[in-house]
Amino acid sequence: DSNPYILGRKLHCLELFCGRGVVSEEFCRKKWLVESVDNDVESNATIVQDITKIDPRRDFQRVPDFIWASPPCQTYSRLAGGKHRSLSDPDRSATAREHDLHFTK
Q: Does 56 share its domain with 90?
A: no
Q: What is the pLDDT of residues 56-89, one digit of tens each?
A: 999 998 999 999 998 777 666 766 665 555 555 5
Q: Does 25 share its domain with 59?
A: yes
Q: In the prediction, which pLDDT does 67 show?
A: 96
Q: Does 85 share its domain with 66?
A: no
Q: In the prediction, which pLDDT does 37 show?
A: 95
List of residues 6+ apart from 45 with CB closer than 8 A: 18, 21, 36, 37, 38
Q: Does 65 share its domain with 94?
A: no
Band (pLDDT 50/70/90 cuts) for residue 9 is confident
CA 41 to chain centroid: 13
Q: How far apart are CA 80 and CA 6, in angstroms?
A: 38
Q: What is the pLDDT of residues 26-52, one digit of tens each?
A: 999 999 999 999 999 999 999 999 989
The residue range of the domain holding 100 is 79-105
Q: In the prediction, which pLDDT does 54 show?
A: 93
Q: Does 65 share its domain with 89?
A: no
| Cβ atoms of residues 24 and 13 within 8 Å | yes
What's the domain count of the chain? 2
Q: Could you give the dihedral angle defined by the CA atoms of residues 69, 74, 80 and 84, in that order, rounded to the nearest 10 degrees?
A: -110
State pTM to two decimals: 0.70
Q: Does 17 share its domain with 50?
A: yes
Q: Does 49 share its domain with 93?
A: no
